[in-house]
Amino acid sequence: MGDDEELVAKLRTGDEAAFTALVRAHHASLLRLATAIVGSRTVADEVVQDTWLAVVRGVGAFEGRSSLRTWLFRILVNRARTTAGKERRVDRLGEVDSDRFDAAGVWAAPPVPWADQVDDRLVAEQLAPLARTTIDTLPDVQRQVLLLRDVEGLPAAEVSDILGVTDGNQRVLLHRARAKVRSELEAKLGTK
């Protein structure tokens, strides 16, 4: 029996320790994504609590067609989108400089790994708030894809499934989000 199957079996029997372990493992990630979707920490807290209630109520219906983690994120995204409703931000499509990419849409000059050097780590600490602010200004789905892929480390197929977008669309959204964040950081560093 796999880890997910074992955990689900325990959850179905009302095992509080299993539920506590699940919450500890995923609460921060769910809260981060919910905040990105609804734009308010207070509303995000409510969405995450609602998600946990849905998990408790719906664990019996979990069929295991996806990982438990993917199922949790899918529940959260659905609840957050419903909650966001009319408060949803206006989709602000940020245009990316076309000179950064070749005809195939690939980076003309790929991002350079810069966080490996000590000085760069100090700069990274100073730029983290700018990166967070930039991420917060991304269009909703771009922000969600970026958080799920780059922060949570989910594979592309799971992100596409969770957000209900095609694999190709997910790649484009991720590309645009990363490009916007990179552009803003480079502008701040004066290194374009």
Predicted pLDDT at 52: 92
Tokens read off for 86: 């009319």
> pTM of whole model > 0.85?
no
3-class SS at 101? strand
Q: What is the mean pLDDT of residues 74-79?
A: 92
Which of 2.30.30.240, 1.10.3720.10, 1.10.260.40, 1.10.1740.10 would CATH assign to domain 3-87?
Answer: 1.10.1740.10
For residue 175, pLDDT over 80 is answered with yes
Q: How confident is the model at residue 112 (pLDDT cuts 50, 70, 90)?
A: low
Residue 7 has pLDDT above 90, yes or no: no
Q: What is the pLDDT of residues 123-132, one digit of tens each?
A: 667 778 888 8
Domain residue ranges in the chain: 3-87, 98-189
Q: Are 130 and 188 in contact (CB under 8 A)?
A: yes
pLDDT tens column, 56-69: 888 888 888 888 89
User: Is residue 56 within 8 Å of residue 20, measured between CB atoms?
Assistant: no
CB 37 within 8 A of CB 81: yes
pLDDT higher at 162 or 115 = 162
With contact defined as beta carbons under 8 Å apart, do 30 and 74 qualify?
no
Topology adopted by domain 98-189: Arc Repressor Mutant, subunit A (1.10.10)
Q: Are 19 and 56 in contact (CB under 8 A)?
A: yes
Q: Is the pLDDT of residue 93 over 50?
A: no
The Cα–Cα gap between 79 and 70 comes to: 14
CA-based radius of gyration for the chain = 19
The tokens describing 154, both together, are: 């989910």
